[in-house]
Structure 1
Amino acid sequence: MKKKDINIVKENYDNNAHAEWERLEGFHFEFEIAKHYLKKYLRGKTVLDIGGGPGRYSVYLAKLGYDVTLVDLSEGNVALAKEKFREHGVNVKAYVCDARDLSSLRLGKFDNVLLMGPLYHLSGVEDRKRCVLQAKKHLNGGGVLFASFITITAGLNYYYDTAPEQLLHEPAMDLFDRMEKDESWSGMAFTQATFINCLEVEPFFKELGFEKLAILGQEGLAGPRLTYIERAEKPVRDLYLDLSLRLCENPQYFVYSDHLLYIGKHD
């Protein structure tokens, strides 16, 4: 990945750290379903949150009693994360570093590693491999990796959900060319981003030495009407959350989600 593209991502989060924190404020399928699976698969007591942004997952896990360390590319994210840790009364260490090379931090090994952001932005498969191998290097034997991607259908779900007419004026129609060919797409979206072909995910991690525990869509069935359902009355939200938790691991429904979560064990 070119340095200018990394800088685009870094500057986006430096300038929008508060927006990134607020993005998961309140009820969001992405966060609710992730929390369910974190509780199910976390092992031991230590967590390395790589690309942890302003600390939403780190705060949640620290409050559950985990010993958490956060790393992020963006100084703005890390500064806000430290504020949030103080505000919520949790003790979480936080460092600025590129997810592709953590060697300068000498962090040691952890029972669990989260990659809930870096793989959204790494356009080249070799960069994605470097990132995941860094995570693996910091996992204890038998430790668990949680890695999230943006799905190739996330853009289409966005148009369905909020602005179907905007597609008439969308210059990046090559996204749909890639969908037609069952390929991933990289380019400018909300920032420099990669939308992954879901069929690539399991073989990618198998090649890097992980045993799959689960793959799931983080929005379950709600993606195409996400904004409406998340703002609905609690009984409606709860119904769709229950349905989503029942079906989110079924590959034929991955297309309804904007984010795909891979959970795997270090062999």
Structure 2
Amino acid sequence: MKNIIVDCYENYKEEDRLTTNNARKIEFITTTRIFDELLDNKMKVLDCAAGTGVYAFYLADKGYEVTATDITPRHIELIKQKLMDKNYNMNTSVLDATDMNIFKDESFDVVLNMGPFYHLITENQRQKCFSESLRVLKKGGILVTSYIPRYYVIQHVAMGDRRYLDMKLAEQIINTGVIKHEDEKCFWTDTYYSSMDEMEELYKRNGLKIIDHFAQDGISPLLQEKVDSLSFDEFEVWCDYQYRICREKSILGASNHVIIAGIK
């Protein structure tokens, strides 16, 4: 499984994902706005699937002590290159988020689990990742998990490629949440799509007090052409609107990416 995911990201420019257009930027804008509300810059943060470091660098630039890990070697190399232009250090490591034994118990005030969860297609893998995140998190610390809602995904892929407007595929995602790389109509890689209720149950079952649950980008990816055509002032209004509605329950299932946060 690991090599499949790594191969996917080694050949994909993750560093461009949140910067190429306004419809994508809104995820970062909304997420960092809420991070500024939830987090304190004296916190020690583990970004356990940092990608190329967009959130890790955002927090480090604000004074957080950040450790950035990722399963994809290319991503860690890009983070190291960016660090050469920074006046601070950031610990980095190539790491599988289901096994973080390089870190001691209760090492971090915040764990950002914002990438691995939706690439773990078995419940056992997901629980391993979740348990490891909790193990390295201090009591009273904050666990942040990103997921992709299963009721959104067919709408999104069908807008991009009609080959995936397929009822059998839709039923597979609705019923199981799982797409595997060998599936006939796999449009990405091994992926698990979750739901608001499932994620809240996961947090409660593991003893976490939920403190936030919000849509990172809402329906903006479905409206990409419209959102990208907005003027600067219009886009600001759209971002403010997205922020105002991002915690509405009906929006959570209609968003491309969603975050749930809880206190250990």
- 2:15 is aligned, of 21, 34, 43, to 21
Contact 2:47/2:68 (CA < 8 Å) preserved in 1? yes
- 1:247 is aligned, of 235, 245, 248, to 245
Alpha-carbon distance in 2 for matches of 1:157, 1:228: 16
> TM-score by structure 2 length?
0.88
Larger mean CA deviation between 40-49 and 207-216 belongs to: 40-49
Opposite residue 97 of structure 2, the aligned amino acid is: A
* Deviation at residue 96 of structure 1 after TM alignment: 0.9
Contact 1:185/1:196 (CA < 8 Å) preserved in 2? no
Contact 1:153/1:258 (CA < 8 Å) preserved in 2? no
* Deviation at residue 180 of structure 1 after TM alignment: 5.1
Q: Is the partner of 2:129 in helix, strand or coil?
A: helix
Opposite residue 6 of structure 2, the aligned amino acid is: K
- 2:232 is aligned, of 220, 224, 234, to 234
Alpha-carbon distance in 2 for matches of 1:192, 1:65: 35
User: Could you say which residue in structure 2 is the equivalent of 1:33?
Assistant: 30
Alpha-carbon distance in 2 for matches of 1:202, 1:175: 26
Deviations 1:132-181 (A, max 9, x none): 11111111111011110112134234246x53xx32x2286444214655
- 1:215 and 2:213 aligned: yes
Question: Alignment identity in percent?
Answer: 25
Deviations 1:165-217 (A, max 9, x none): x32x2286444214655x52333432222221332110011111211001111
Alpha-carbon distance in 2 for matches of 1:122, 1:193: 6
Contact 1:222/1:256 (CA < 8 Å) preserved in 2? no
User: Could you say which residue in structure 2 is the equivalent of 1:194?
Assistant: 192
Alpha-carbon distance in 1 for matches of 2:110, 2:44: 6
Q: Is the partner of 1:151 in helix, strand or coil?
A: coil
User: Could you say which residue in structure 1 is the equivalent of 2:184?
Assistant: none
Opposite residue 211 of structure 1, the aligned amino acid is: K
Deviations 1:2-34 (A, max 9, x none): xxx221101122233xx1011112641111111
Opposite residue 186 of structure 1, the aligned amino acid is: I
- 2:143 is aligned, of 142, 145, 148, to 145
> TM-score by structure 1 length?
0.87
* Deviation at residue 221 of structure 1 after TM alignment: 4.2
Q: Is the partner of 1:62 in helix, strand or coil?
A: helix
Residues 260, 227 of structure 1: alpha-carbon distance in 2 compared, 3 angstrom cutoff: farther
Contact 2:213/2:247 (CA < 8 Å) preserved in 1? yes
Contact 1:33/1:245 (CA < 8 Å) preserved in 2? yes
Residues 15, 78 of structure 1: alpha-carbon distance in 2 compared, 3 angstrom cutoff: same
Gaps of 5+ in 1: none
Larger mean CA deviation between 99-108 and 134-143 belongs to: 99-108
User: Could you say which residue in structure 2 is the equivalent of 1:134?
Assistant: 132
User: Could you say which residue in structure 2 is the equivalent of 1:42?
Assistant: 39
Alpha-carbon distance in 2 for matches of 1:86, 1:227: 36
Contact 2:68/2:93 (CA < 8 Å) preserved in 1? yes
Contact 1:71/1:95 (CA < 8 Å) preserved in 2? yes
Contact 2:142/2:263 (CA < 8 Å) preserved in 1? yes
Contact 1:157/1:223 (CA < 8 Å) preserved in 2? no
Alignment of 1:150-161 (within 5 A): 150-159=148-157
Gaps of 5+ in 2: 182-186
